[in-house]
Structure 1
C-alpha cells in the first residue's frame, strides 16, 4: 500500500493509524445507513429496497468521474493507478459463490463485519462461514490452484480489452446508473403495492 498522504507531509508510519480511522468512519456510515441489516441488503434481490444498488452505483460513478477529471486537470496520472490482475475463472466462480452467499445470508463480507460489531447473531454465523470457507480454501489450495490462477488475462481494464475511449465508458456508465435508479424505483413501487 502506498502512502495515503504523499510527499512526506505525514510519515508512512501513520498510514495504519489513518487507515484504522477511515475504517471506523466507514463502519459508522454503514451502520448509520442501515447496511448492517440483512433485510436491507437482501432487499435488492427481493425488490423491496434498492438502497445498496443506489449507493454503490453512486460511489462508482462519482469515483470514476472524479479520477478522470483529476487526470484531465493533471493532478493524477491514471496510467499509474494499480489495476488488480484478472483471473477469469477465479473471478467467475468467486462471483457466483459471493452472490449465493449474499442472497442466502443477506450480507457481503464488509457489512457482515459491521453487523458483528453491533452483536447481530446472524452476522456471527455468516462470518463463521466465511472463516470456514477461507480455512478450507487455504488447506485445499493445491487442488484449487489451477482454477484460481486459470485463464490469466493480466492487469486489464475495459478500455484495454476493447480499445474504448474511457470518457465514453464513463458517459455510458452514468446513463446506465440513471436508468438503474429509475427502473429500481418502479420495481420497488410495484413490489410495495403487492406486499403492503
Structure 2
C-alpha cells in the first residue's frame, strides 16, 4: 500500500496516522454491522445469512467500477496500479486452509481482530490459532517454499487471463452479482423454512 495522500501534501507519518484512524473506524463499522459475530459469518456457509457476502461483493464491484471510471476520466492510471504476483499452488492451498479456518472458527482475520477488540473469547482463540499457524509456516518455510512459490503466473489479473475488455468484464460481473444476490435470497428463505 502506498500513502493515502501524496507525501508533498502530507508527510508519510501523518498518512500512517490517518490510515490507523480509518482502520479504527472500519473496525467500528464491522462491529456495528454485526460482522464480528461468528454466527453471522458462518451463516454464509450454512445458508441462513448472506449479508457478509453481499456487503463484500458489493464493495468489490463498486470499487472496481469506481477505478474504471477514474481511469477513464484520467484521474487514475490503472496500468500503474500494483498487482500482487500470482503463485497458483500457494493461492489454492492457502485459500483452502483459510476457508476451512473461516468455517471452523467463524471468523476471517479482519473480523476476528474486530471481535477481539470487544472481548470475544472465541475470536481470541481464533487469533491465537492464526498466530500459531503463522509461526509454524515461518519455521517450516524451507519445507513449504516449493509449494509457496510453485506455478508462478506473474502479475496477472482476471481480465488479463480471460483476455476480455475490462468494461465488459465489470458489466458481466455486475450481472452475475445481481443474479447471485437473488439466488442467495432464495436459498436463505428455503433454509429459514427448514430450521425455523
2:84 corresponding residue in structure 1:
84
Pairwise CA distance, 1:13: 1.8
- Whether 1:142 aligns to 2:148 is no
Q: Is the CA contact (8 Å cut-off) linking 2:44 and 2:52 kept in structure 1?
A: yes
Pairwise CA distance, 1:50: 0.4
1:44 corresponding residue in structure 2:
44
Which ranges in structure 1 are unaligned for 5 or more consecutive residues? none
1:36-185 pair list within 5 angstroms: 36-185=36-185
1:27 corresponding residue in structure 2:
27
For normalisation by structure 1, the TM-score amounts to 0.98
For normalisation by structure 2, the TM-score amounts to 0.98
- Find the aligned partners of 1:81 and 1:118 in 2 and give their Cα distance: 35
1:59-106: per-residue Cα shift (whole Å, max 9, x none)? 011000000001011111000110000000000000000000011110
2:5 corresponding residue in structure 1:
5
State the SS of the aligned residue for 2:10. Answer: coil
Pairwise CA distance, 1:2: 2.1
Q: What is the RMSD of the two structures over their aligned residues, measured on CA atoms?
A: 0.9
State the SS of the aligned residue for 1:153. Answer: strand
Q: Is the CA contact (8 Å cut-off) linking 2:3 and 2:16 kept in structure 1?
A: no
1:92-134: per-residue Cα shift (whole Å, max 9, x none)? 0000000000111100011001001100010011111000000
- Find the aligned partners of 1:12 and 1:132 in 2 and give their Cα distance: 32
- Find the aligned partners of 1:50 and 1:174 in 2 and give their Cα distance: 17
State the SS of the aligned residue for 2:153. Answer: strand
- Find the aligned partners of 1:100 and 1:54 in 2 and give their Cα distance: 20
Query: Which runs of at least 4 in structure 1 moved beyond 4 Å after TM superposition?
Result: none
Pairwise CA distance, 1:166: 0.3
Pairwise CA distance, 1:194: 1.1
Pairwise CA distance, 1:14: 0.9
- Find the aligned partners of 1:162 and 1:187 in 2 and give their Cα distance: 30
- Find the aligned partners of 1:37 and 1:2 in 2 and give their Cα distance: 31
Pairwise CA distance, 1:7: 5.9
| Paired residue total | 196
State the SS of the aligned residue for 1:18. Answer: helix
